[in-house]
Structure 1
Amino acid sequence: MSSIPDFGELLAGAEKSAVHLEMRDAYFSNPRFEAWQRGDRVEWENRASWWRPFHQDIADSVARGVTVRRARVVSEPVTDYIRWEHYQTAANIEAGELVRWLPRRSAWDLLLPGSDFWIFDGELVRVHHFTGDGHWSGKELCGDPAVVEQHAAAFERVWERAVPHDEYEIK
């Protein structure tokens, strides 16, 4: 798996689009989530305190004309992790991502892949694997047109039903 390019490289190579589907209600804990749980909040006016290389990669891609979309399928009531993700999505929006949320109860009739993924330019899918408790366990890259099309179709079905970030109310 070490031969798989990192996310930044794949995004830098994108010319038209990058889409991301997230379907877990919790991922591994991290220091920013733990700080939020303790009551710490982002100083949004101090961009240097929260802007990360990931945000810059997204902003650079959007500036080149790449459309970056993220859809999240979530259970309601949401977990604390999803509540935190909703809060910190302001950074994704600032970077230029378009983000939507789909309550899992509204996705029951959709056939969705078993793992989160990114698709770059509709040609390459990067699948993310997690353990049951949300820890990262690896990634795969696939350029098989049939597999990419299945994942792209799943993303588009979710995107069509999902609620734009600024309209989605945490429940």
Structure 2
Amino acid sequence: MPLTMPTWPDLLGSAERTAVHLEMRDSYAVDYETGPFADWRAGHRHNPADRASWWRPWLDLVAATVGRGVAVRRARIVSEPVSEYTRFLYDGTFTNVAAGEEVRWLPRRQASTLALPGNDFWLIDGRLVRWNHFTGEGSSAGGEMSDDPAAAKLCADAFSAVWERAIPHGRYEIR
């Protein structure tokens, strides 16, 4: 029987020790005409000193999760030179870090010898997987939950291997 898809507050709220996220795409579907990516392309950059202008519900959720003692980590595998979308993500990652998330970057060439799952995922406490599915164009094709121990182990092992090789956000230089 398939697991019910929890809301993000419920999913992160269920975490007791860890919530880790692996991202492996060079771009995700965005509206090139309007929204944050379009604003960034037009030259807008978040002002780190003006927290009110960039703080949003997701960051509140991350901060609350970290505040409960849960380690929230995100690893991104990226092609180099990076895509325009990855550059956009990089420029805004200081907001994730400000919320308490640890973020690392792994150049794709350094991931060649790693066994990785076929989809991006969140792994909660090493036991619950939320797969993120995408279309070929990068649009969300929905999520899928799994409590299969083999899937959780695959994700835990993959994330650990990526995390070990990846470069902390503060030291990663965009190429």
Q: TM-score normalized by structure 2?
A: 0.95
- Counterparts of 1:168 and 1:6 in 2: how far apart (Å)? 32
Q: CA deviation at 1:44?
A: 2.0
Q: Deviations over 1:88-114 (max 9, x none)?
A: 000000000000000000001111111
What are the within-5 Å matches in structure 2 for residues 107-126 of structure 1? 107-126=111-130
Q: Which residue of 2 aligns with 1:20?
A: 21
- Structure 1 unaligned residues grouped into runs of 5+: none
Please name the residue that 1:103 is paired with: 107
In terms of mean alpha carbon deviation, does 29-38 or 18-27 score higher? 29-38
Indicate which of 86, 91, 102 corresponds to 1:87. Answer: 91
- Distance in 1 separating the partners of 2:142 and 2:25: 15
Q: What corresponds to 1:41 in structure 2?
A: 45
Alignment of 1:1-171 (within 5 A): 3-30=4-31, 31-171=35-175
Whole-Å separation in 2 of the counterparts to 1:11 and 1:3:
15
**How far apart, in 1, do the equivalents of 2:47 and 2:158 lie?**
36
**Cα distance in 1 between the residues matched to 2:47 and 2:113:** 40
Supply the RMSD in Å over aligned alpha carbons.
1.2
CA shift digits 1:24-43 (9 cap, x unpaired): 00001141111000111112
What is the deviation of 1:15?
0.7
The one-letter code sitting in structure 1 at the alignment partner of 2:111 is A
Question: Secondary structure in 1 aligned to 2:105?
Answer: strand
- CA displacement, residues 71-104 of structure 1 (integer Å, 9 cap, x when unaligned): 0000000000000101100000000000000000
CA distance in 2, matches of 1:17, 1:91: 19
Q: Distance in 1 between matches of 2:150 and 2:133?
A: 20
Conservation of the 8 A alpha-carbon contact between 2:3 and 2:146: no
Corresponding residue pairs, total:
171
> CA distance change for structure 1 residues 164 and 4 in 2, over 3 Å: closer, same or farther?
same
Consecutive aligned runs of 4 or more in structure 1 exceeding 6 Å deviation: none
Give, in angstroms, the shift of residue 2 of structure 1.
9.5
Distance (Å, rounded) in 2 between the aligned partners of 1:138 and 1:60: 25
Query: 1:124, 1:12 → 2: CA distance?
Result: 13
Runs of 5+ consecutive residues of structure 2 not aligned to the other structure: none
